[in-house]
Amino acid sequence: MLHPQLPQDCGRTRFNKARHRIISGEDAQLGQFPFIVRIGTRYLIKSKLFHKFSCGGSLISKFYIVTAAHCDGGVDLVRIGENDVSTDKDCDGFGNCAPPVQDIPIKRFIFENFIEDTLTNDYALIELKTPVKFNEYVQPVCLPPANIDHASSRGKMVFLAGFGRIRMQPAKYANKLQYIRAPIVNNRICSRIYHKYTKRLTNKQWCIGYSKGKDTCAGDSGGPATMSMNLDGERREYLIGVISYGLPSCGTSPAVYTDVSRYVNWTIRTLDFLGN
């Protein structure tokens, strides 16, 4: 069931109708993740405006974005609709071009009971000062049902996307939106890996990824872990996780993600109270 306070036309991409899904490679196609958001800061150098992006997020409505609570640190804007950092106009080589990116100021971060030391409850909403303009390349993702069962979810594959680091040394960040598919694994695996950093994982967190190879990395925090599900007679993309943390040496273990399904009811109550 879709949430009545949120857009009903959520979780669709340019590829849903054609039932086309890329399952290999790393470069995302134009419009494949229309809900992806970059979160960053504006600054001036010699009267010239620059942007520095440090986190990701997921668009859930024209005024709200889901991200990680730890991404709240001096950021002041979000960028929506970007696929390739190196081009002013994003096109797919087949005559299809997306509208210009939308840079929108942040009004505020909203979160509850976030514990920075252990990254517990690493979940936040960003309220925007002005509304997002939806188009074919900018669309909200759906929120999942509340309290997804973890045991039955193990082994299922999710999509992870972001503009974060793609090489450790020397450091290199993605120019083009990257994505991977990765499995949900037993939380005990991450509890063993991260016991020096935090207590064992709770049922509000997912352990997702591989023991070696593909992974999310610095700069991807707050970004989406999505799953394609048919819950209302139509296949849509649902936001099941938020990238929270991993080992400093990316690509050497699964990482920890906030379980969005545990925060759905809080999100709906918050949006209902705020009235947007």
Among candidate residues 122, 215, 220, 259, the one labeled active-site is 122
Q: Which of 167, 155, 157, 183 is nearest to 251 (CA)?
A: 167
Cα distance between residue 246 and residue 119, in whole Å: 11
Cα distance between residue 91 and residue 148, in whole Å: 37
Among candidate residues 61, 221, 244, 261, the one labeled active-site is 221
Show Cβ contacts of residue 257 under 8 Å, excluding neighbours closer than 6 positions. Answer: 205, 206, 207, 208, 225, 241, 242, 243, 244
54 catalytic residue (yes or no): no
Query: 106: part of which helix (H) or strand (E)?
Result: strand 102-110
Radius of gyration, CA atoms only, the chain: 17
Cα distance between residue 120 and residue 95, in whole Å: 45
70 catalytic residue (yes or no): yes
20 catalytic residue (yes or no): no
Among candidate residues 58, 70, 90, 259, the one labeled active-site is 70
Alpha helices in the chain (DSSP H): 187-193, 264-274
- Which residues are catalytic, by number? 70, 122, 221
